[in-house]
Amino acid sequence: MPWTMEDYPASFQSLEKVIRKKALEIAGKMIQEGYEENRAIPIAINQAKEWKKNATEKEIQDFSSNGSVTPSKKSSSSRPELMDHAQHVVKHEDGWAVQTEKAKRASAVKETKQEAIDRAKEISSKKGTPTVIHRKDGTIQDVVKPK
């Protein structure tokens, strides 16, 4: 990452050019929001195909000639208001979740707390936001400032 129209995952190879471009844009945004590549790629491909199916010819043409696949740090998120919020590590029924403060769902669920902490710190360092680590009971155990 970041991917371009010349350098992208193999799973994008067989896509029509405009769908590939849209999928690269969507996947890039998802990864910036904290999704793991193995989740973001298939979701992005499906969403890009759906977008093309529902887009007007003008929208497709405009995106094809003007759309960008390189998202900027601040405006790339589909929920840009979350870009400045901390990453929280919280107990989850399937292990430990990494969730952006005020987000509706976790961006990742890890088997161990340490795996979740590592992922949250990785996301936080890219966003420049703190990582808030919670105990099983939900109370705050630690707040780690970004490096």
What's the Rg (C-alpha) of the chain? 17
The pLDDT value recorded for residue 79 is 53
Distance between CA atoms of residues 122 and 39, nearest Å: 17
Which H or E element spans position 49? helix 37-54
Domain ranges of the chain: 10-66, 80-144
Q: Is this structure's pTM higher than 0.85? A: no
Model confidence at 74, pLDDT cuts 50, 70, 90, reads very low
pLDDT in tens, 8-43: 888 898 999 999 999 988 888 888 878 888 888 999
Model confidence at 54, pLDDT cuts 50, 70, 90, reads confident
The pLDDT value recorded for residue 56 is 87
